Structure 1
Amino acid sequence: MQSIHFISGLPRSGSTLLAALLRQNPRFHAAMSSALAPLVSANLDIMSSGQEVSLLMEESQRPAMLRALFDTFCRTTTEREVFIDTNRSWCAKMPLIADLFPDARVIACVRDVPWVLDSLERLFRKNPYENTRLFGNDGERATVYSRMESLARHNRLVGYPWTALKEAFYGEQADRLLVVDYEILTKAPEKTLRLVYDFIGEPWYEGHDFDNVEYDAPRFDEALGIQGLHRVRPKVAFEPRRTILPPDLFKKYEHMDFWRDTAGSRANVLATKRATREDTTTA
């Protein structure tokens, strides 16, 4: 089986950019979220207690079945030697990953939560003729306040990966986790990428081009009704900007960056000091 690692973390925090950079290496496969994590969750569900299938299986068959699923998915997706899969849920599956793949590592891309929400709000406003599927009804999408509240709930686009990351950060497998701040990645892409290579135990690839990065998924974004969600700019760069969120709303979600305090965690962290009301434009 190919070597396997995972990208997870918060949305609008550089995970697509990181995947786009890694895939420049001809040995690596990396992309936006794939079907792998949902397939794993579905199989776990059908094999778990309370399901008829669980009565027809031995306990030892469960990990074997999941390893076969990973192996089949990776081999039929690419022949490249290193498979790096992206999904927000991997941080919530650290014990499973550690048991199935002892050498696997998880890279979690992060960004201060107000700036994650700011980035999503910008995309929403760029698509004024579309009721994006990011919101379930007119009440949720009514104003910037209802939109941000909806996204920040524990089971939604921002709240879920935030809580999953916090679980991984303080969990038993935290030493398998590398937290990468978006500002670090965009300001020092080569240095950051070299540290990622060291973390996953792979030799450095000299062919990385930080001025010509390519990735986009227009069909997927159109299906969600929000264009540009997975579009990466060609040049990796840090671009300061002012937030479009009202001051009270921005302040409400400040200081949720628990990863800047590593006390009580064995996670590896690449992060800057606390951000001000100026930040970078998401790739």
Structure 2
Amino acid sequence: MGWKSKVNVALEEATGYRFKKMTSQEPPPPPAPEIRPPADPGADRLLTAPIFVLSPPRSGSTLLRVLLNSHSQLHAPHEMHIRRLTVNLTTDPVQQAMEALGHNQSDIEHILWDRMLHRELVRSGKPFIVDKTPSNSFAWKRIATCWPDARFVFLLRHPASVARSWHEGDPDERPMEEAVRHTLRFMRAVEDARKAFDGLTLTYENLTGSPEETLRRVCDFLDVPWEPSMLSYGDHEHGGFVKGIGDWKDKIRTGSVQSGRPLPRPDEVPHDLLPISEAWGYVNR
């Protein structure tokens, strides 16, 4: 008997325990839960036709939010980041209980998402909610599955301006090369969603250059009446402008639509942004 076995025998006689070598192989992770639409929409969903603004960061989504939130029928809170709200079925009994009700993990997460947005809507006293979280661009398939009646508004901006603005937010930590890579991920996701849905496409340049015309298009798309007071968003309450859940810079705090920066020249567009710039009509090659 080797010394390790002798130690184990002595340990077991003294304590009732033994050393056991841990295996390096971990059990495979459980399969991801199926993402599926509500089985019973009348019971599983409180919201009707929620509105989602999909855009890259630094594209004017906070400006669009406060303009829409100034409408008497539209509630547009700060970025909600609902796709990061998750649930964890930690024990076999709770999994068994939920399965008996017909729910998997993603079903319960969808119910949670719907409830959180509905709570915000009820507190506002308005009939329709707008969520403008830019990272929703990576979750458009799941959002459309969660709410089959969801409506989508796509807000575009010149890709080079998007990357430049994101870079300028923290030049030391966000070199321009990284800004291009980071923002291009969002742009590609937004473009994929645009190809999938019959939503409304707006541009930041039109929103800042012709705000009334642009907002009239939004109102027509959402089937709500045009309200001139939308343009004076500073006269309405929108909550705080807080970093991390929306734009917080001085420009958005002015309370009125400000002109955008001049468009980049074609030779100023980074090479990696040329295809998406062409797809969005900003560059002709």
Could you say which TM-score interval applies, normalised by the shorter chain?
0.5 to 0.7
Do 1:216 and 1:230's aligned partners in 2 also have CA atoms closer than 8 Å?
A: no
Aligned-partner SS, 1:231: helix
Q: Do the aligned partners of residues 212 and 191 (structure 1) sit closer, same or farther apart at CA in structure 2, a change above 3 Å counting?
A: same
Equivalences, count: 229
Fraction of identical pairs, as percent: 23
Match of 1:91 in 2: 137
Whichever residue aligns with residue 75 of structure 2, its letter is H
Cα distance in 1, alignment partners of residues 251 and 155 from structure 2: 14
Scaled by the length of structure 1, the TM-score of the pair is: 0.65
Q: How many Å apart are 1:186 and its aligned residue? A: 1.2
Q: How many Å apart are 1:192 and its aligned residue? A: 1.3
How is 1:114-263 mapped onto 2 (pairs within 5 angstroms)?
Answer: 114-124=160-170, 135=173, 141=174, 147-153=175-181, 156=182, 158-171=183-196, 174-175=197-198, 177-210=199-232, 212=234, 217-220=240-243, 228=249, 231-241=252-262, 250=270, 252-257=272-277, 259-260=279-280
Whichever residue aligns with residue 257 of structure 1, its letter is S
Q: Do the aligned partners of residues 25 and 102 (structure 1) sit closer, same or farther apart at CA in structure 2, a change above 3 Å counting?
A: same
Whichever residue aligns with residue 159 of structure 2, its letter is V
The CA deviation string for residues 246-270 of structure 1, in whole angstroms up to 9 with x for no partner, is x66645533423543xxxxxxxxxx
Do 1:217 and 1:231's aligned partners in 2 also have CA atoms closer than 8 Å?
A: no
Aligned-partner SS, 1:160: helix
The CA deviation string for residues 55-113 of structure 1, in whole angstroms up to 9 with x for no partner, is 64539414652442133202332423211112223333333333332321111211121
Q: Do the aligned partners of residues 54 and 205 (structure 1) sit closer, same or farther apart at CA in structure 2, a change above 3 Å counting?
A: farther
Aligned-partner SS, 1:61: coil
Aligned-partner SS, 1:207: helix
Cα distance in 2, alignment partners of residues 88 and 211 from structure 1: 21
- Give the CA RMSD over aligned residues: 3.7
Q: How many Å apart are 1:203 and its aligned residue? A: 3.3
Instruction: Point out the more displaced range, 69-78 or 231-240.
Output: 231-240
Do 2:54 and 2:137's aligned partners in 1 also have CA atoms closer than 8 Å?
A: yes
Whichever residue aligns with residue 262 of structure 2, its letter is R
Structure that is richer in helix per residue: 2
Gaps of 5+ in 2: 1-45
How is 1:69-80 mapped onto 2 (pairs within 5 angstroms)?
Answer: 69-79=112-122, 80=126
Q: How many Å apart are 1:213 and its aligned residue? A: 6.7
Aligned-partner SS, 2:231: coil
Do 2:205 and 2:260's aligned partners in 1 also have CA atoms closer than 8 Å?
A: no
Cα distance in 1, alignment partners of residues 137 and 204 from structure 2: 17
Aligned-partner SS, 1:103: coil
The CA deviation string for residues 89-138 of structure 1, in whole angstroms up to 9 with x for no partner, is 3333333333332321111211121111222233335xxxxx6xxx4xxx
Do 1:114 and 1:250's aligned partners in 2 also have CA atoms closer than 8 Å?
A: yes
Gaps of 5+ in 1: 126-130, 136-140, 142-146, 261-272, 277-283
| Structure with greater Cα Rg | 2
Cα distance in 2, alignment partners of residues 116 and 275 from structure 1: 15
Aligned-partner SS, 1:83: strand
Scaled by the length of structure 2, the TM-score of the pair is: 0.65
